[in-house]
Amino acid sequence: MIIAASAPLTVVAGGVTSNYAVTGLPGIPLSFVVLGAVLLLFTVGYSAMSQHVHNAGAFYAYIARGLGKPAGVGAAWVALVAYNAMQIGIYGMFGFALSSLITGLTGAEPAWWLCALIAWVVVAVLGVNKVDLSAKVLGALVALEFLVVIIYDLIAVAAAPEGISAASLAPSGLFTAGVGAALAFSIAAFMGFESGAIYNEEVKDPRTTARRATFIAIVIIACFYAFSAWAMSVGEGDSRVIARSTELGPDLIFAFLAERVPAWAVDLSSLLFVTSLLAALVAFHNVVARYFFALGREGVLPAALATTSRRTQAPVVGSLTQSAIAVVVLAVFAVAGNGSEAGPLFPVVTLFTWLTNMGAFGLVLLMALTSFAVVGYLGRHGADYGTWTRLIAPTAAGIALAALFGIIVANFDVLIGLEESSILGWLLPVIVLAPGLLGMVWALGLRRRRPDVYAGIGYGGDAPEPAGAPGGVQGAAAPPRS
């Protein structure tokens, strides 16, 4: 589920080429190594805390237990906006990709929004079923994605028109003007890595499964994307990869393969690009549904959101709520895009670009806050952990992620494709951040109006820690749910 959210084929075909094209830096492969190291630092404390706090609203619960309940509710509302934005934005790329595939195979030209609705139906059906059904479907799709990218990588390295070189891994190719935008682009490739802890209440061994899965996923993602970005540079030639990425964009790897493999293999790769997007849609949908469930169960949002299916135990109302939000936003963009000058690219340059960058913006902020929450929580409950786990690793990760958040803010206009300053450059970040402030106000209102609900914030139905602790975060760690 973690790697499905990362969408390997989508990142390599779309994310890596866009990074080369927009930043003009040859050091994109190294950016994945650097970010992988930062996220491994983050995971040291995050996974340690996951052994004590088992809650479907992971960031929400961790921040509530480490930094206080108002901060936790604010984080939850930011998470809902960010994950919804990430998930719904992907519908834009899916609609464009499937429409283009159908046009290429049949000559028909279905509207992007109609293709997006096909995915919406599939995601809605999988979302109300057990998570293991989604995992089985996504497992097969992700395996095929990896196979396509690995084949591309091997052919690219074998082609090597300028010879095999490590120039794209040199620090001088990354740490120069534009490094901020490069890191901001690349961090989006990791989004979803933190979702392992969200399933802690559904796995057989909540103390070890999510922890191991998160570490393994980060290593795989960082190494795989770094190698693939390097292979792309070698396959096109270090001197040509930026120009080719600018010229062809996401079609670069398919154009490369078209010159070297049978046509049916290229068509299959294009189909798997579409299923890669579908896998990411399902993964992020499940995350949003579980956040709704966690907040409904604790009374922070309407209790109906905590309703689960008797047959599948899936958070059915949370799932349906996410589906309803998605179809409304799709309808708005479908109407807005009618007759747009962007033509077929409208859902890519607006819905996909705007919303996925909003999502990455919010999630990096949440990761930074979670790092500091880990320091607060383990400082009180982590007597069994050493200084590295309790303090050094999460603090270093928090500082690095806070710096990355600042970089994203500074480069947001570039990330959403604006050539000059625009209202969107500040409006989209505000849409993500404003709910955080409203959530904190809401939590303070609950403390006054419904102290029983306030006491349970971040505990997922477990017994709250002793009353009187500042922010409700002192005392013994809550036991795992049975």
Q: Is the pLDDT of residue 399 over 90?
A: yes
Say which residues have a Cβ less than 8 Å from residue 82's Cβ, sequence separation at least 6: 358, 359, 360, 361, 362, 363, 366, 432
- The encoded tokens of residue 284 equal 């992020």
**What's the pLDDT score for residue 477?**
34
Mark 401-416 as b/e (b = at least 16 C-beta within 10 Å): bbebbebbbebbebbb
Question: What pLDDT sits at residue 28?
Answer: 95
Q: Mean pLDDT for the chain?
A: 86
pLDDT average, residue stretch 435-456: 94
Nearest partner of 367 among 136, 75, 22, judged by Cα: 75
Report the alpha-carbon distance of residue 65 to residue 54 in Å, rounded. 11
Which amino acid is located at 9 in the chain?
Answer: L
Nearest to 394 by CA among 364, 415, 372: 372
How many CB atoms sit inside 10 A of residue 177's CB? 9
Portion of the chain with pLDDT greater than 70, in percent? 91
Mean pLDDT (whole number) for 46-59: 78
Please say whether the beta carbons of 396 and 387 come within 8 A.
no
**Helices 28-50 and 353-381 sit at what angle, rounded to 10 degrees?**
40
Q: Tell me how far apart the alpha carbons of residues 259 and 266 are, in angstroms, rounded to a whole number.
A: 10
pLDDT exceeds 90 at position 59: no
> Radius of gyration (Cα) for the chain, nearest Å?
22
- At 103, the pLDDT band (50, 70, 90 cuts) reads very high
Where does 110-208 have alpha helices with state H?
A: 112-127, 131-159, 179-187
pLDDT, mean of residues 397-401: 95
Asked if residue 297 has pLDDT above 70, the reply is: yes
Q: How far is CA 107 from the centre of its chain?
A: 34
User: How many CA atoms are closer than 13 Å to the CA of 362, on its beta-carbon side?
Assistant: 30
pLDDT over 90 (residue 229): yes
What DSSP line would sit under 259-273, residue for residue? Answer: TTS-HHHHHHHHHHH
Which pLDDT does position 48 carry in this prediction? Answer: 87
Mean pLDDT calculated for residue range 108-120 = 95
Q: What digits encode the pLDDT tens for the residues 7-43? A: 788 889 888 998 898 889 999 999 999 999 999 999 9
CB 136 within 8 A of CB 212: no
Determine contact, residues 20/248, Cβ cutoff 8 Å: no
Q: Work out the pLDDT band at 143, boundaries 50, 70, 90.
A: confident
| pLDDT of 201 | 65
pLDDT computed for residue 474 by the predictor: 34
Name the least confident of 137-141, 250-254, 351-355, 368-372.
Answer: 137-141
Least confident of 52-61, 129-138, 232-241: 129-138
Q: How many residues does the chain have?
A: 482
pLDDT at residue 147 above 60? yes
Share of the chain above pLDDT 90, in %: 49
Across 49-69, b (16+ Cβ under 10 Å) vs e yields: bbbbbbbbbbbbbbbbbbbbb
How close are the terminal C-alpha atoms of the chain, in Å? 22
**Topology, domain 2-472:** Amino acid/polyamine transporter I (1.20.1740)
Cβ 381 vs Cβ 477: under 8 Å: yes
For residue 3, pLDDT over 80 is answered with: no
Write the DSSP string, 222-257: HHHHHHHHHHHHHHH-TTTHHHHHHHHGGGHHHHHH
- Give the whole-angstrom CA distance, residue 63 versus residue 41: 17
* pLDDT at residue number 134: 61
Q: What is the pTM of this model?
A: 0.85
Domain spans of the chain, in order of start: 2-472
What angle (nearest 5°) sits at the alpha carbon of residue 119, between those of residues 194 and 254? 80
Residue 400: pLDDT over 80? yes
> What is the Cα–Cα distance from 382 to 384, expressed in whole angstroms?
5
User: Over the stretch 67-90, which tens digit does the pLDDT of each residue have?
Assistant: 999 999 999 999 999 999 999 999
